[in-house]
Structure 1
Amino acid sequence: MTGVIIGVDPHKLSATIEVVDQHGHLLGSGRFTTDKAGYAAMRSYVKSWRQRAWAVEGANGAGRPLAQRLLADGERVVDVPAKLAARVRLFDTGHNRKTDVLDAHSIAMVAVRTAGLRELAPDGELEALRMLADRRDELAQRRVQTVNRLQRLLSELVPGQRKRDLSALQAKAILASVRPRDVAGKIRRRMAAEELADLVAVDAKLKTIKAELRAAVLGRGSSLMEITGVGPAGAARILADVGDIARFADRNRFASWTGTAPLDASSGEHVRHRLSRAGNRRMNHVLHIAAIVQLRHDTPGRAYFLRKVAAGKTRMEALRCLKRRLSDVVYRRLVADARAADTGPGGHCGATLQSSAVDLHPHIDTSDQPLPGPATPTLRPTPPPRKATPPKAHASAS
């Protein structure tokens, strides 16, 4: 990375920056507000360094608004994961003290010392897709809360009855059969009617946004919805969170990011793996939903799951294996779609257009483990002992 690096610790109302050179030497620092005047002052402060790159912590999270503003103004922005910044802060001389100034310093040091940080690129369509996916998730969460409140009120109005997966029409039919005469019952029924109206409104919004997501996913040339169990919302979430699939070297790195690759917990001759709770949990949820859908239908994924159970794995272990396979399927789909659009990553060894959940092709391995095989040994082999050379016999004097 050429030029100076500007480490940014972003917040909703302020941003603390530190400017360093390629050797980590401090060139400048400051704290600016995130309003229009503060943003302009920050840009004016760094304009003397013409070759500059902004290292923003959490460019897909808390730092997204600032990162998007910088991208819109033609700035170069890289994303610094919060975990990397925390590690630098831990091993720094500040004894892991967490202040805005120290955070900006650790972010800048990560950008100086780490190669391969993800560089952001302006993509209005992808940003719109992300906003739609976030909005859909919020509406789905609101619907769950509304249904729970409605279920509680209906169970009080009609004791002993509870409908699983309650729909608006079912709730309307139940509510129409109740005519309480006491004051508390009337208030309860009115509140249930209000919750029912909210449920109808949320369902209408979800239906509309689902159509928008479908059109947006297809507009990007994605084939993710062809995978059983991946709908418009799941496909949009995958595209929004992944961004450029080229940032993942192979399917194993992708599986580690989705949290579907088991963690190696082997010790000595005892080889075992344990569940990984790391990675992108939203992506893990999308793969979990896809796996559950495949288990409910006659799919290759269900056949793979049953084979794993027959081989001695528990149902949860078999489900994790299926999610790992689905992660590979999604990765290959993303690579294939990127290549079809002539913007995909090059040199991905082993990528294939096959998209079955179980990959019955004989040239594709199972990849239940995060790594394809044992690590290359680093110790030199011990040389064989040299054989002792017998002493030469001296010729006798004649």
Structure 2
Amino acid sequence: MKRLRRRKEEGEVWTEEPVSAADQSEPVAEAEGEDRIGWQTTTAGLSGMTKLARVAAWVLVASGPLTGVAALLGSSSPAQGAPKKTSVARQASGTGPAGFATLYVEAFLEAGEGTEKALAPYYAGSLALTIPPGTRSVTRSAVIGARETAPGYWSVTVAATVSVKDKKGTAGPASVQYYRVGVQALGPENAGGTSSSSDAPVGYTATSLPAQVAAPEALKPGALGYGTSRGSSTSDPATDTAGGFLNAYLAGNGDLSRYTSPGVHLQPVAPALYTAVKVTHVDDDSTSAGDQKVPGDGAKRHLLVTISATDKDGRAFPLSYALELRSRAGRWEVAALADAPVLKPGSQPSTAPATPAPDSDGDSTPTPAAASASPSPSSS
């Protein structure tokens, strides 16, 4: 049992005190005694527990607003240990739609009257052709652009080398033509579709006939990062190393590891298609063409090497290679066969008028931008 005490001091505060065993044995008739000691008019009579209870009560009253603010802030901010949700950008692949569009364009160009059903796997619309089958023939084709215009819907541009026969059946000169196709894809994202399931069925369909479009604009490449021309003299140690490396790499003349840095492992072209390689020009990023001294170990130099590779029939073919050389023990060694020539920092391509490039027979071959995009024979 517990005995209740109270004090009237600017109001009433009820407190509880534990009752000893002796107090528990007091008769109930002593309630009058409780009335005698229950009301106190001075603080001297307060017990330790009573003081503690009063202090605790005032602390609770004073801290009430602060506790409410802390609770409000705590409810509005995420827990420190709670994981944050991150959105993953959708990455759909255009490989499937691009391949489908290529097959569709090839079939469309070579189809004719009576063979319209050959387009059924690609296009479900009605089509009636009036030209003889085989009027147009495709010797090669390639995708030059694939863009997703909406989830699962692709715009694919295909370049095709097309030859057209005249009324007598004689094939005319081939020209590069460009066609754009709208393709809807069904399936997972890695097939160009929208499904998140890797087991979703895959399929493609064209939304219309191909549209013949203009060739993309030709570009002039930006400046390369080779400021020094060294010509073709093999007296320069760097040029000599490059020539020996490419002879071993393309023609199998010599041990490839003889020209590479330690730890560099490159496989030669096999089978060797050429019998000899000759350096025709070298550009590098050195400070001076006259400086032929090999620097101390660890120095680097980047070369753009143009060669003439001769096959077993004596025909010569020009090729270019970007090499990274590193000095060691007083000589240059090939540290890397670069993926592409080095660009000058900040270099950007620019638009340029297309000019015909002369071929080996003195004729001119149009660049892709200048290639004829002749209209296809009419179809209805």
Using structure 2 for the length normalisation, give the TM-score. Answer: 0.22
Higher relative contact order by CA 8 Å / sep ≥ 6: 1 or 2? 2
Indicate the structure with greater helix content.
1
Q: Larger Cα Rg: Structure 1 or Structure 2? A: 2
Indicate the structure with greater strand content.
2
Using structure 1 for the length normalisation, give the TM-score. Answer: 0.21
